[in-house]
Amino acid sequence: MTDLKSIVDSVYHDLSDRIGEGKLADYIPELATVDPRQFGIALVTTDGKLYSAGDAATAFSIQSISKVFTLTLALGKIGDGLWKRVGREPSGNSFNSIVQLEQEKGKPRNPFINAGAIAVADVVLAGHVPKEAIGEIVQFIRQLADDDTIAIDHNVARSETNTGYRNVALANFMRSFGNLNHPAEHVLGVYFHHCAVAMSCHQLAHAGLYLASAGRNPLSGGSVVSPSRARRINALMLMCGHYDGSGDFAYRVGLPGKSGVGGGILAIAPGKASIAVWSPGLNENGNSQLGSAALELLAQRTGWSVFGQ
Beta carbon of residue 279, minimum distance to ligand GLN (angstroms, whole number): 14
Among this protein's residues, is 306 annotated catalytic?
no
C-beta closer to ligand GLN: residue 116 or 270 = 116
Question: Pick from 58, 93, 96, 100: which binds ligand GLN (CB under 6 A)?
Answer: 96
Contact status: 167 vs ligand GLN (CB under 6 A):
yes
Rounded Cα–Cα distance for residues 13 and 222 (Å): 36
CA dihedral of 42, 300, 260, 216, whole degrees rounded to 10:
-60
**CB closer to ligand GLN out of 3 and 26:** 26
C-alpha atoms less than 13 angstroms from C-alpha of 78 in its C-beta half-sphere: 18
Please say if 64 is a catalytic residue.
yes
Contact 119, 66 (CB under 8 A): no
Exposure string over 209-231, b if 16+ CB within 10 A, otherwise e? bbbbbbbbbbbeeeebbeeebbe
**Is 97 annotated as contributing to ligand binding?**
no
Q: Which of 12, 60, 95, 173 binds ligand GLN (CB under 6 A)?
A: 95
Q: Considering 91, 243, 253, 277, which one is annotated as catalytic?
A: 243
Q: From the candidates 52, 86, 190, 191, which is the catalytic residue? A: 191
Nearer residue to ligand GLN within complex by CB, 167 or 217: 167
CB within 8 Å of 284: residues ≥ 6 apart: none
Does the annotation mark 191 as catalytic? yes
Catalytic residue selected from 68, 124, 197, 261: 261
Q: What is the amino acid identity at position 211?
A: L
Q: Which of 21, 55, 122, 160 is in the footprint of ligand GLN by CB under 6 A?
A: 160
150 binds ligand GLN (CB under 6 A): no
Task: Establish whether 105 is a catalytic residue.
Answer: no
Residue 289 parent element (H or E): helix 289-302
Considering only residues 113 through 142, tell me which ones interact with ligand GLN, judged by CB under 6 A: 114
Q: Is 99 an annotated catalytic residue?
A: no
d(CA 46, CA 209): 7
CB atoms under 10 Å from CB of 89, counted, come to 13
46 counts as binding ligand GLN under rule CB under 6 A: no
DSSP 241: T
CB atoms within 10 A of CB 271: 12
Rounded Cα gap, residues 243 and 108, in angstroms: 13
64 near ligand GLN, judged by CB under 6 A: yes
261 is in an annotated binding site: yes
- Is 197 annotated to bind a ligand? Reply is no
For strands 197-199 and 257-259, give the pairing. unpaired
Q: Which of positions 242-271 make contact with ligand GLN (CB under 6 A)?
A: 260-261
Smallest Cα–Cα separation from 287: which of 256, 236, 246? Answer: 246
- Of 52, 61, 64, 159, the catalytic one is 64
Query: CA-CA distance, 67 to 84, in Å (whole number)?
Result: 18
The pattern of x and - marking residues 176 through 205 that bind ligand GLN according to CB under 6 A reads -------------------x----------
Q: Is 217 annotated as belonging to a binding site?
A: no
Q: Which residues are annotated as a binding site for substrate?
A: 64, 114, 160, 167, 191, 243, 261
Residues annotated catalytic, as ranges = 64, 67, 191, 243, 261
Return residues touching ligand GLN (CB under 6 A): 63-64, 95-96, 114, 160, 167, 195, 260-261, 286
